[in-house]
Every structure is written in C-alpha cells, then in structure tokens.
Structure 1
Amino acid sequence: MSIFKQVMTELANGQRSPAFSDTLEPDQYGLVYVGGEISVYTVIEAYTKGCFPWTGSHPVPWFSPDPRLVLFPKNFRASRSLRKLARQKKFKVRFDADFRAVMENCAAIPRKGQKGTWITENMKETYCELHDMHIAHSVEVYQNEQLCGGLYGLTFGHAFFGESMFSRVPSTSKLALYVLCVVLAAKKFDFIDCQQITSHLMRLGAVPLSHREYMKRLNRTLAAESHHESWEGYLRSVSRAGSFEKSRGDGIFVA
C-alpha cells in the first residue's frame, strides 16, 4: 500500500489522529490553522483537506485561500512569443530529473516584496521525501545542460498542486508550465491548483473558484487513482503520441 493510501485509510478508520478538522473554514486572509509540524503525513492530510503550509517556520501557518486560483490544463494560454520560444528548441525539458535542485532554485530566487524565502529546510526535506514516494514532481528546463527554469508540486487524484516556479532565463518557468499543461491534458488531469490569485497566472488562463466550488472539485478528483509513479517518462510518451504537434503545433525538445 502506498503511503498516500495508508494515510487516507488510517484517517478514515480512526487509526490516525487527524492534524486538521474535516471542516476547515478560511478567515478573510485564507488562514485555516496555525501550528503542527511539516511532515509527510501532515502535508498529505493538508492537501487532501484543501489547505497547504504557507511556510515551514514555526508556528506553521496553513492556508486555504478563498477564492482559490486553478488552471484547467486545456485552457492554458500560450502566447505567440512562448510558442516561438518552444519552437526555437533552445531548451530541453525534463520531468523528475532533479527535484531538489528545482526546490533549491525556487528558494534562492529573489521575490519582489519578500525578504528571504518561505521554502524552509524542513519543507525541502519533507517535499524531497514526497518526491521519493512519487507524490511530488518537478519540471525542469535546461539550456546547454544548465538548469535555467522549472517548477514543482504534488499530485493527488487527477490534480496537480503547484508549489513554486523559477526562471534564471526569461520565460523558462512559463515554458515549464506550458509543457506541464500539455502533458496533464493528455493524461486527463482535472486541474492545477495555483493557490493564490495573481494577474500573471490569470493571463495564462487560470481562473478563481470559491472555496466551496474548489472543495467540491477536490473531493471529486481525490476519488480518482493517483499518478504516484515516476514521471520521468511522461513527457517522452506524450511527445511520441504527437500530443504537442496535434494540440499545440509546437515541437518541444524532449530530453
């Protein structure tokens, strides 16, 4: 039995004490709980109950924004410049090639209006454990074999829960998200959880959902079989099937 199924079964049967209430309600800022710890078990429970850790610093704040931003993979808006960037084949795109490096880069990239990083060491270790369990995944973009952009997140059911992205070369995080959307659309995923509302993600096709609507979609997707396996071959399989050419008209250099 996978760790995900184990946690869900134990919670359902009362064999594991829940870290969070089943009826979490966000306040005006989206905060639902403060406290607890960052661990494989609490993170799995949190995401399946609609919340996530804002940071790993104690006391840990857990959030469930209302409204919640989601992106339906087929609705991703690839601009003309992004399509051109993909066609240039300057970059190689890989899945699950170097998860820790993606997290490290996301933590190191300066963010406007932020001091330091919310991606603490305990978060790195826990999410890397989740990656080893094939629950957390990364998309990497390389130029001349140097990691220059990417993103990471978790998957439960037929949903991908985006955590963070970075670019060291302009537009490479958008390229990573674009490729992820093509693959997830081909794999019949329901949605990508983008967490917070940003104008940048809304321009790419993301839309806000109320807390009630988000939870309804979340519970529905959690009933589907999770893709808890290595995603290293996902991109190649989708490319061989012609999904990029058929659905987007772009040729992505798949490593």
Structure 2
Amino acid sequence: MFRLDQEDISFPDPELYDPQDGLMAIGGDLKLERLWFAYQLGLFPWYNEGEEILWWCPDPRFILFPSEIKISKSMKKILRDEVFEFTENKCFEDVMRNCKITERKGQDGTWINEELIDSFVKLHQYGKAKSFEVWQNTELVGGFYGVQVGNIFCGESMFSTVSNASKAGFIHFTTKYQNEWELIDCQIHSEHLESLGAKMIPKQDYLNILKRQRS
C-alpha cells in the first residue's frame, strides 16, 4: 500500500503497480494540483466520510463508448417529446450537492463530502470539471458531473429527483458529444449504466487510451 506524502503530489504508476482490489494509494490531500494529476494518470478518489483519502484505479475498468450507447424506445420518445431541458455548467455545485443528498437503492449514505465538493468546485473553476443539468418547469431535476481529460469524460456521480431525468441527461449529452468524447469513464460497475451500454475493459486498455490524451 502506497502512502502519499502531503508535500509531494506523485502517485504510484498504475501500469506498474496493480493491486488486486484497485486501491492504488492512501492519504495525501485534495488540492487542485493533486486531483488533476490523479485523473491524468487514471486514478480517482473514492472514500467514506471520516476515512483517509483512498485513490483507485480498478481493473477491469467500467467504461462506455459513446457510439455504443443504448437508447430504449421509451427514452427516444421522452427525448423527442422534449420532456426535459438541458444545460451545461450552469450550476456545478448544485449538481454535486444534489448527488450528495439523493438516496440510492442499496446505498447507505454518500461518499461525497464537503472536502470533495470544495475541491471539485475549484477544479470546475479551473475548467477541468463539468456539470450537465436536466430541468423540468425551471426546476433542477437531474444531472451529472465529472472531469474532462482530453477526449475522455470521467463521470463521477449523477442524480435524479423525477423518473428518467438523469438517464435522459446522460443520453442527451453522450449523443451530443459522440464525436468528441472517445469514451466515458464510468469507473465501477452499475446496472443503470450497463443498461445504457457501459461495459468492462482491461485497465491497460483504458490507460492506453488515456495516454493518447496526454501526448
């Protein structure tokens, strides 16, 4: 287990260090430089409130190629009928806070804490983190946020307060950026995203694609 130095933003090389559970390092902090560097390397923070920061690079990696997104007939109708309106980067922090408080089946509590919110808001102000909002009758009813690394969008979390809101938003923006996003990093498996076409690929395949963004 690698313990990070507070004064050094380096990480173990995910191509050389391959722990079975995907946990790459522990500790450090969430300052802007470290957080951005982690995503460029293929790592992301994921830990419970009150724990030390845990940094992950799972193998296999759960991803979605935009060209492979699955859109059901019912969702096509919802999008065609313009049930929702969509915006980008209009209220990043509000999206994060809704992701924090929205209850999810099978989950007790949330991994999104105030430290993460503060750090991701700064990353958003830096132009690297983005939010996508879903509205209905001027009310924010869904959305998701993540980090943009070149042509890879690293999705972090999504929320929905009305049926199909987050799914509609995800489909809308995945389709919109189909020719710009090489892949969407979904990180770890979820049945919701699998139903939309996400799948597992070897970690090395993901890292190879990520390296092209930095070259």
TM-score (norm 2): 0.91
| Preserved CA contact (<8 Å) 1:35 1:58 | no
Matched residue, 2:17: 25
Query: Paired residue for 2:100, among 95, 99, 107?
Result: 107
| Preserved CA contact (<8 Å) 2:71 2:196 | yes
1:181 and 2:174 correspond: yes
Q: 1:197, CA displacement in angstroms?
A: 1.6
1:82 and 2:75 correspond: yes
Matched residue, 2:150: 157
Distance 1:166 1:57 in 2: 23
SS at 2:116 equivalent: helix
Which structure is larger by alpha-carbon Rg, 1 or 2?
Answer: 1
Write the letter of the residue equivalent to 1:204: L
SS at 1:185 equivalent: coil
Sequence identity of aligned pairs in percent? Answer: 37
Distance 2:211 2:75 in 1: 33
| Preserved CA contact (<8 Å) 1:71 1:191 | yes
Matched residue, 1:202: 194
Distance 1:38 1:57 in 2: 14
| Preserved CA contact (<8 Å) 1:139 1:150 | yes
Matched residue, 1:41: 33
1:193 and 2:185 correspond: yes
Question: Which structure: greater strand fraction?
Answer: 2
CA-to-partner distance for each residue in 1:80-115, whole Å, 9 max, x for gaps?
A: 111111112121100111111100000001123332
| Preserved CA contact (<8 Å) 1:73 1:182 | yes
Matched residue, 1:244: none
Question: Which structure: greater helix fraction?
Answer: 1
| Preserved CA contact (<8 Å) 1:53 1:62 | yes
Write the letter of the residue equivalent to 2:33: Y
Structure 2: give runs of 5+ residues left out of the alignment. Answer: 1-6
Distance 1:58 1:40 in 2: 20
Aligned residues: 207
Query: Paired residue for 2:59, among 62, 66, 69?
Result: 66
SS at 2:142 equivalent: strand
SS at 2:178 equivalent: helix
Structure 1: give runs of 5+ residues left out of the alignment. Answer: 1-15, 224-255
Distance 1:43 1:36 in 2: 10
SS at 1:153 equivalent: strand
Query: What's the C-alpha RMSD, in Å, of the aligned pairs?
Result: 1.6
Distance 1:156 1:57 in 2: 29
